Structure 1
């Protein structure tokens, strides 16, 4: 089977597993890059490259070239993960008998702690919106849900009115892999949503609208946040995901248990949530070093 046929079959499988358009496109980009490299190494035209020609040495050579070009280890690991998933699929379908990626080790990744905002910084952002007008009221809803419920920006912009149960303070969100979860909302968020919806004159079921009356995009949320940061003269660069990091960090600081935070964030693996415990320990150690006279 040639690579185009294999990629088409694999992409169809990915869609059947409810993978997002972005995920499928990322896999395709990484795989096409690998196919181009492999064809060059084997001295064949790309359209004549077949899956059975790939061996472990070609995969290692591909990673070596990426490293020589200075690609970050995290990016290399992502490309290798795409290859693993692709060739594992081909073996499971019995298109291949031997997985050429099976004996390739993943590059070791250093643990990078996520950035977060301190309570006073977060308070400044939460007070930055002018809630006397429609767009300002909408922006307040954005802030309250990103920080108050720890939503991903994609989950936020995907919300419809039917996802809200403001009487009991819960919202239903669609997370990664089209997995639904229910998360609580703060009283501040409930009040902000109610005030925003009162100002609206439309009948749209979409919760967050842009000035044209259509669904707000993730890119627009980033621009709105940039304006808020500039408004309060905050020097630190802030992105929407930092509010989610801040939510998790402040929850753990406040005594929440790790399993509960994992469920609230929609993490499949506990290890994804455990990084925030490292973050809180790092922060406490920094405070200790700065404040205790015997630590200096």
Structure 2
């Protein structure tokens, strides 16, 4: 591999990400853009040195910190790959900039807003009309099981549980996981399966394929407006955040939450500890072995 070109090495690196780490297609595409963009600036990534890394930092000066952080992450992983493969003798990526990109806390709905959203959806679905019942079913799975938008709309009919109260979901990078379905969600799901049009392999069919993410966003925002909740506060991901935060408030373990959400790294899940920091402080005060002891003791 030592004589391979920069373009070939980028392809080899991306193939490794896909095969060994199960990276999603969007991640592969983003890394490709970042690496090819860096090579356009430097001429050759494998032969780049520390000064070249500083040059990249200067070229990215006007970009958002989060964008720079992503580009740097792509390059650090790429150079780590080249080092492991024996293509380069030393890793120059230590000289890349380290922007302090602060991850924003997720937007969530409070319990009252969630209740209002469900009350509206349940009221509209009482007559078992297909469209309102479909919306209620999707709402149950977004908030009740914490699914991502893409995971939800692309669910095959075969994922619907028969005996066990679980859905089989294919998440990022093609990774499958089991997510629980509550008793109430199972009831709504059963009603929808009986009412939906037959002949499609998807749980939420639309035309020759499945419902789109864009249409899912639209349906949720329309429902929120009818429930007197600002449409800007609603999205599938906001409902997923509410699922996670409200579970944490109820005492769920962070590792369990990581499994339910399908996070590869628990660091991604830990953002919810900032949302529910008050409960965590109370938990330490109540459960720590020294909680009942005073300084005089």
Q: Which residue of 140, 150, 156 maps to 2:152?
A: 156
Could you list the per-position Cα deviations for residues 164-189 of structure 1 after superposition, in whole angstroms to 9, with x for gaps in the alignment?
21533111112223222211111221
Q: Measure the CA separation in 1 of the matches of 2:83 and 2:169.
A: 35
- Shift in Å at residue 228 of structure 1? 1.7
Specify the SS of the correspondent of 1:115.
coil
Q: Which residue of 2 aligns with 1:233?
A: 228
Q: Which residue of 2 aligns with 1:61?
A: 55
- Shift in Å at residue 191 of structure 1? 1.5
Q: Which residue of 1 aligns with 2:203?
A: 207
Q: Measure the CA separation in 2 of the matches of 1:270 and 1:207.
A: 30
Cα 1:284–1:82 shift into 2, 3 Å: closer
Unaligned 5+ segments in structure 1 are 39-48, 286-296
**Count of residues in correspondence between the two structures:** 272
Could you list the per-position Cα deviations for residues 130-168 of structure 1 after superposition, in whole angstroms to 9, with x for gaps in the alignment?
323212211111110010001111221232122221533
Specify the SS of the correspondent of 2:244.
helix
Q: Which residue of 2 aligns with 1:291?
A: none
Q: Measure the CA separation in 2 of the matches of 1:256 and 1:15.
A: 32
Q: Measure the CA separation in 1 of the matches of 2:220 and 2:161.
A: 26
Q: Measure the CA separation in 2 of the matches of 1:168 and 1:87.
A: 45
Q: Which residue of 2 aligns with 1:281?
A: 277
Alpha-carbon RMSD across the aligned residues, in angstroms, is 2.3
Contact 1:209 1:216 in 2 (8 A): yes
Tell me the TM-score normalized by structure 2: 0.83
Cα 1:172–1:205 shift into 2, 3 Å: same
Cα 1:197–1:203 shift into 2, 3 Å: same
Query: How is 1:254-293 mapped onto 2 (pairs within 5 angstroms)?
Result: 254-281=250-277
